[in-house]
Amino acid sequence: MGKRYDLIVFDWDGTVMDSTAIIAGSIQAACRDLDLTVPDDEAARHVIGLSLVQALRYAVPDAPEAMYEPLVARYRYHFLSQDAAIPLFEGARETIAELFDAGYALGVATGKNTAGLQRALDSCGLRHYFHATRTAEQTFSKPNPAMLFELMDELGVKPERTLMVGDTTHDLQLAQNAGVDGVAMGHGAHPAAQLRELQPLALVENFAQLRLWFRDNA
């Protein structure tokens, strides 16, 4: 059976890297530093995947406009003190290597900034597996479809031959807006019930299940 897809695009935080708790905790710590309203865990996790400024505006909507710049700085202080130790999800490396060896083009579409993504790719040794990446710093933030449009254009792949893998409703909405299929990872930032509402092709709990799904469906 021939391949169903030519390009598989991964979200990063909460999908490939187990960073959800650290991102949410860093948002909350930054708010405490500046005596701002601290979002609860659900609100802090919900914004993961958006660009940082957009995420903070959603998570802390009552902050004065002048506070967002220092809030970004405090978030980065807390996150960067921990990011070198953030692990990949179990099975992520093996799954990505298997897809690469099978001849798929691989991409990343993330709300991280470019420096943060490159630092993460280098720290985990996965940079050489990805043919192209897009960050929220380079183009429009999710769920605007620009990231996927640009990746497909760069790699010469049509929407019907592209698959998006992510852990949030932002990722699935990105896929829908770009006219591509989406698979949801249940181990990340958004609860399964919210992911199911967007009707992904599959909702898998971990990379072991994702590898099996790829072998049967991709």
Kindly name the residue from 6, 11, 41, 122 that is annotated as catalytic: 11
d(CA 27, CA 156): 37
Tell me the DSSP string of 46-115. HTBTB-HHHHHHHHSTTS-GGGHHHHHHHHHHHHHTTGGGPPBPTTHHHHHHHHHHTT-EEEEEESS-HH
Q: What would the pLDDT profile of 13-39 be if each residue is shown by its tens digit?
A: 999 999 999 999 999 999 999 999 999
Q: What would the pLDDT profile of 62-73 be if each residue is shown by its tens digit?
A: 999 999 999 999
Kindly name the residue from 6, 13, 18, 171 that is annotated as catalytic: 13
Active site residue 33: no
Query: Residues 8, 99: contact at Cβ < 8 Å?
Result: yes
d(CA 17, CA 88): 4
User: Residue 62: CB partners within 8 Å, gap ≥ 6?
Assistant: 36, 37
Write down the mean pLDDT value for the chain.
96
- Average pLDDT (45-57) is 93
Q: Is the pLDDT of residue 99 over 60?
A: yes
Q: What would the pLDDT profile of 147-199 be if each residue is shown by its tens digit?
A: 999 999 999 999 999 999 999 999 999 999 999 999 999 999 999 999 999 99
Active site residue 153: no
Query: Residues 13, 52: contact at Cβ < 8 Å?
Result: no
Residue 138: C-alpha distances to residues 24, 92, 149, 155 (Å): 23, 25, 13, 17
Q: Is the pLDDT of residue 52 over 60?
A: yes
Confidence band for 84, pLDDT divided at 50, 70 and 90: confident
Q: Is the pLDDT of residue 96 over 90?
A: yes
Q: Is the pLDDT of residue 1 over 80?
A: no
Confidence band for 86, pLDDT divided at 50, 70 and 90: very high
- Average pLDDT (130-153) is 97
Domains of the chain: 7-18+87-217 (3.40.50.1000), 20-84 (1.10.150)
Give the per-residue pLDDT at 85. Answer: 87
